[in-house]
Amino acid sequence: MTLKIILKPSEKLIIGGAVITNGPHRTEFVVENNVPILRQNNILSPDEADTPARRIYLTIQLMYIDNSNFKKYQETYWQLVREFVQAAPSSTGLVDKINEMIFQGSFYQALRSTQKLMEFEQEVLKRVTKCSEILPIG
């Protein structure tokens, strides 16, 4: 299966663990084998992993692009997921879908579903913030 990729000027891309930065011009190329690929807008840096759901995303991203440390990332993933579901039991359905994708080795699809988990997390945080504004504390 081939994949045609068009990169914008200065856009970054991870292919098989290698970070590639495009030059000043638009570039088009074809990847002709199955290899982990993440475009810049799907890459989360460790500094950006500042919430539990984002840490889950980063861990799945690392499982996807760094197979040599897969076992370590997998252990971290299960710990993060357990803590997340304990804190937000209503997330169980989303987390179960992500778990299934990971069991199947569909890491890119798991990342996409984890974006939904991050949206869920933001909604929960908004509700909690709204409640704390309504109820006087102290």
- Per-residue pLDDT tens for 21-80? 999 999 998 999 889 999 999 999 999 999 999 999 999 999 999 989 999 999 999 999
Same domain, residue pair 52 and 85: yes
pLDDT range class, residue 133, cuts 50, 70, 90: low
Same domain, residue pair 137 and 110: yes
Same domain, residue pair 34 and 97: no
Same domain, residue pair 99 and 131: yes
Same domain, residue pair 108 and 123: yes
Structural domains of the chain, count: 2
Q: What are phi and psi of 2, to 5 degrees?
A: -105, 155
| Residue 69 · residue 94 · CB < 8 Å | no
Same domain, residue pair 65 and 129: yes
Asked if the model's pLDDT at residue 131 lies above 80, the reply is: no
Asked if the model's pLDDT at residue 85 lies above 80, the reply is: yes
Q: What are phi and psi of 30, to 5 degrees?
A: -125, 130
- 10 lies in which domain range? 1-41
Same domain, residue pair 55 and 122: yes
